[in-house]
Amino acid sequence: MRRKKGSQSLTPLELQIMQVLWRDGPSNVLHVQKSLAGEAELAYTTVQTMLNVLHRKGRVRRTLRGRAFDYRAVVSKDAVLKQAVRDLVDRMFGGSAEELVMSLIKARQLDAEKIAALAAEQESGDE
């Protein structure tokens, strides 16, 4: 399935780059490239291109510092997580969060004990 042009969802590489910015704060291309070195061997120009794509998508802002740009995330990790979950539920479960939960139960990723603990945590957070 092809991604819609202008899509605001993040590719796996874009997400890795955003995680560097969320963790380390404003960073230049070289810093991001070095931070990703353990995960993938990416060329400087590849990282630069991906940061420019994130800039065009409105996910990062850039500020010129000397001769290089510093990039900073303008969207929170929580907002990206919520969108990714929404996309997953829509694409894989026809918009049904209940189907997602049932899938987690069937895959033994979630059981009644965990569901009760999550419900109790949610209730205490609502107060």
Give the model's pLDDT for residue 39.
Answer: 64
Confidence of residue 34 (pLDDT cuts 50, 70, 90): very high
Nearby residues of 113 by Cβ (< 8 Å), 6 or more positions away: none
pTM score of the predicted model: 0.75
Per residue in 45-94, pLDDT (tens digit) is: 999 999 999 999 999 999 999 999 999 999 999 999 999 899 999 999 99
Q: What is the mean pLDDT of the chain?
A: 89
For CA atoms 84, 90, 95, 96, give the dihedral sign. Answer: negative
Q: How far apart are the C-alpha atoms of 50 and 47, rounded to whole Å?
A: 5
Q: Which domains does the chain show, CATH number per domain? A: 12-73 (1.10.10.10), 77-126 (no CATH)
pLDDT beyond 70 at 127: no
pLDDT beyond 80 at 125: no
